[in-house]
Amino acid sequence: MKKIRLLTPGPTAIPESVLAKFAEPVIHHRTSLFETEFKVLQDHLKWLFQTKQLVLTLTCTGTGAMESTVAGLFSPGDSVIVVNGGKFGERWTKLSKTYGLNVDEILLERGTAVSLQELEARMRANPGAKAVLFQASETSTGALMPVKGIVDLCRTHGMLSVCDGITAVGILNLPMDEWGIDVLITGSQKALMLPPGLSFLALSERAWKATESSRLPKYYFDLVRERKMQEKQQTAWTPGISLIHGGVESLRLLREEGLPALFERHERLARCTRAAATALGLEFFSRSPSPVLTTVKVPESFSVEQGKQIQKIMQEKYGVIITGGQDELQGKILRLSHFGYCDVFDVMTGIGALELALADLGHPVRFGSGTGAVLTAFRET
């Protein structure tokens, strides 16, 4: 028997009461039964996004919401500035180029956040850019971006702020209306503690205005059509009915915890994880630490192959699934995720399995040094 434990930055573990919802019968969506339930979800989402705007629910993963945003706001030949700090920043670039936009990319050293001075210089050099597309938290490197600063600069320079908050919404404070974020996106399999398959996004008044002049082609991912339907608690196409059903429960759980406690829990788990990494002598990879996930370098004595083995042993021998680096970071970093349905005991489990895997690979480990540091940090904070 092997118990599988998921400690990855999406999909994340799902609470038992949410799982139970997926065993219930599927209802038809063109019914008042669905509309009543969808209304509850919409209300919870406004709370989560800290917005008065309607939060749209799309049946696709986060990338689909990113694509709807690009197709929905812009016209052929428009210029946008992209903050590319990793795989997901690169996705904004590829997506925008696919739609024929001119992309002015700020390519960051992996593991770093964008500097606001550099961004402002880029805005000055490219005053015609319509928007800045960025991640709140770059999941591939664990770098946290200065969201409020980016949004403020966008306001000053008359550009839209388009924030991929897929590993940020429900983890750290991103008050959409208060900060004036123009587009905020998230996905079901991250902090929302659901399986993959839904994405959620909200647009400011300014962003909705921009949709009126957009001339890029769109059909399935048409935000204006969706808004018309979702204002009436309906969807343009058949929605992920079961996921919505589960979402009402997962959001109820988050709302019961409350935003301040939710953000504090993630901060605390991040501190526990960092303490463990330090105790194990692991060096941090991200220079802009985030409450979402902690990225560490594999020990220097390890080859890339051995680096990849850590994750493999943790999964195959101990049933604990974490993620390593992608592309050029493969075998070089470990991504220790601590968000969603996650508490201090999940962090202990992950660190415990990491200690075992490192020892299996011949790395000197004093058992309990990492897990002990987790408990100590937990008590101290």
Residue with the CB atom nearest ligand PLP in the bound state? 62
Among 19, 22, 61, 206, binds ligand PLP (CB under 6 A): 61
**Which residues 338-377 are close enough to bind ligand PLP by CB under 6 A?**
none
**How do 199-203 and 55-58 pair as beta strands?**
antiparallel
Helices 259-279 + 241-257 axis angle, to 10: 80
166 binds ligand PLP (CB under 6 A): yes
Sole binder of ligand PLP in the list 37, 78, 164, 226 (CB under 6 A): 164
Q: Please tell me whether residue 291 binds ligand PLP under the rule CB under 6 A.
A: no
**In the complex with ligand PLP, which residue's Cβ is closer, 63 or 326?**
63
**Which lies closer to ligand PLP via its Cβ, residue 336 or residue 357?**
336
From the list 41, 132, 136, the residue with the least C-alpha distance to 88 is: 136
Q: Does 139 bind ligand PLP (CB under 6 A)?
A: yes
| 67 near ligand PLP, judged by CB under 6 A | no
Task: Assess whether the previous peptide bond of 9 is cis (omega < 30° from 0).
Answer: no
Q: Does 10 bind ligand PLP (CB under 6 A)?
A: yes
CB of 91 to ligand PLP, least distance (A): 7
Q: Is 219 exposed, middle or buried (0-12, 13-18, 19+ CB in 10 A)?
A: exposed
User: Which 176-235 residues touch ligand PLP, going by CB under 6 A?
Assistant: 187, 196
| DSSP secondary structure letters along 152-200 | HHHHHTT-EEEEE-TTTTTTS---HHHHT-SEEEEETTTTT-S-SS-EE
Question: How far is residue 193's CA from residue 203's CA, in Å, rounded to a whole number?
Answer: 23
Name the residue nearer to ligand PLP (CB basis): 89 or 307. Answer: 89
Separation CA 195–CA 189 (nearest Å):
5
Tell how strand 160-164 and strand 183-187 pair up. Answer: parallel
Give the range of 32-40, 59-67, 116-124, 151-159 binding ligand PLP by CB under 6 A. 59-67
Quick count: other Cβ atoms within 10 Å of Cβ 256?
9
With respect to ligand PLP, which residue has the nearer C-beta, 187 or 247? Answer: 187
What number of chain residues touch ligand PLP (CB under 6 A)?
Answer: 13
Chain centroid offset of residue 368 CA: 31
Q: Under the rule (CB under 6 A), what is the footprint of ligand PLP?
A: 9-10, 61-63, 88, 135, 139, 164, 166-167, 187, 196
